[in-house]
């Protein structure tokens, strides 16, 4: 077991974890944050996507110990005060989700995309989400949601999805 310290959704954590524990399992089983889902065994589907220091990563392919000292944000952490983050709001407004299984990953991948490329073209949005699979929507309304979120006036500072009180531990 190893002791790690990290920040998850703005909250400092200190936990003993097995070296082999995947970040997605840490989030789901240790912290009970179950928005991120496991949809495959091969890093193909992206249902587990979270932000690591503001960049979207597939948490099934990150060891928890690799996240030590870093800042993790999940879909739960995007809307700490209950009001939907602009990306979440855009997904609702554009019916960008159906069964919801890929949705937290899609949202986090979108937040990651928009922090790197605030105004993607449709093609850029499609390429950025290529690693996030969805069986329900045919991607049509997901892409609408991404493009709408990019135009949302209030996205500004919230876009990284990091809560304002977050402290990244060294």
Partner 1 sequence: MSILGTRVLRTEDPKFLTTGGVYTEDVVDDRLDGAYHVFFVRSPIAHARITSIDVSPALAAPGVVAAFTGADLADLPVIPPSAAGLMNVEMTQRLLAIDKVRFVGEPVAVVVTELPYQGEDALELVEVDYDPLPAVLGFEPTDSSLLFEAAGTNVAGHWGEASSLKPELFDDCEVVVTHTIINQRVAPAPMESRAAAAVWGDDGRLTAWVPNQGAQGTRDSLVTLLGLEAGQVRVITPDVGGAFGAKFGADPEHAVVAWVSRQLGRPARWTETRFENLVAMTHGRAQQHTITIGGSRDGNVAAYRLEIVQDAGAYPKIGAILPFLTILMTTGPYDIPNAESIATVVVTNTTPIGAYRGAGRPEATAALERAMDLFATEIGVDPADVRRKNLLPPFTEPHRTAFGALYDSGDYVAALDKALAAAGYADLRKEQAERRASGDVRQLGIGVASYVEITGMGDGEESPPEENATVEVHPDGTATILTGTSPHGQGHATAWAMLASEELGIPVEKITLQWGDTDLIPVGGGTGGSRSLQHGGAAVQQASKELIEMARLRAAAQLEANAADLVFDKSRSAFAVAGDPEASVPLTQLAENERLLIRTVFTAPGATFPFGTHVAVVEVDTETGKPTLTRVITVDDAGIVLNPLLAEGQRHGGIAQGAAQAFLEEVVYDADGNPLTASFADYPFLSATEVPSFELADMATPTTYNPLGAKGIGEAGTIGATPAVQNAIIDAVSHLGVRHIDMPASSRRVWQAIQQAATARPGSEH
48 within 8 A of 105, measured Cβ to Cβ: yes
Q: Least distance in Å: CB of 133 to partner 1?
A: 6
63: left (phi over 0), alpha (psi -120 to 50) or beta: beta
Closest CB to partner 1 among 2 and 40?
Answer: 40
Pick 7 or 132: Cβ nearer partner 1: 132
Instruction: Tell me how far, at minimum, the Cβ of 110 lies from partner 1, in Å.
Output: 11
Nearest distance, CB of residue 31 and partner 1, angstroms: 12
Measured from the CB atom, the residue of 3 and 92 that comes closer to partner 1 is 92
CB 94 within 8 Å of CB 141: yes
Q: Residue 23 or residue 35: which is nearer to partner 1 going by CB?
A: 35
DSSP secondary structure string, 82-95? SSPPHHHHHHHHTT
- What is the smallest separation between the CB atom of 59 and partner 1, expressed in angstroms? 13
Under DSSP, is residue 169 helix (H, G, I), strand (E, B) or coil? coil
Q: Do residues 168 and 8 lie in contact, with contact meaning Cβ atoms separated by under 8 Å?
A: no
Query: CB of residue 170 vs partner 1: minimum separation in angstroms?
Result: 30
> Read out DSSP for 20-74?
T-BHHHIIIIIS---SS----SSS-S-TTEEEETTEEEEGGGSBGGGGTTSEEE-
User: Which residue number, 60 or 62, has a Cβ lying nearer to partner 1?
Assistant: 60
Catalog residues that contact partner 1 under the rule CB under 8 A.
34-42, 44-45, 47, 75-76, 78-79, 84, 88, 91-93, 95, 97-104, 107, 122, 125-127, 129-144
């Amino acid at each position: 077991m190893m002791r790690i310290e990290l920040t998850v959704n703005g909250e400092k954590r200190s936990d003993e974890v097995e070296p082999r524990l995947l970040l997605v399992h840490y989030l789901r089983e240790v912290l009970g944050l179950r928005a991120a889902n496991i949809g495959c065994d091969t890093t193909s589907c992206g249902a587990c996507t979270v932000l690591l220091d503001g960049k979207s990563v597939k948490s099934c392919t990150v060891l928890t110990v690799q996240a030590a000292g870093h800042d993790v944000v999940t879909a739960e952490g995007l809307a700490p005060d209950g009001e939907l983050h602009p990306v979440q709001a855009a997904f609702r407004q554009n019916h960008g989700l159906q069964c919801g299984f890929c949705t937290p990953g899609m949202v986090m991948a979108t937040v990651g995309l928009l922090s790197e490329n605030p105004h993607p073209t449709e093609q850029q949005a499609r390429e950025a989400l290529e690693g996030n699979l969805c069986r329900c929507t045919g991607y049509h309304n997901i892409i609408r949601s991404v493009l709408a979120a990019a135009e949302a006036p209030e996205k500004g500072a919230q876009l990284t999805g990091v809560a304002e009180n977050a402290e990244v531990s060294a």
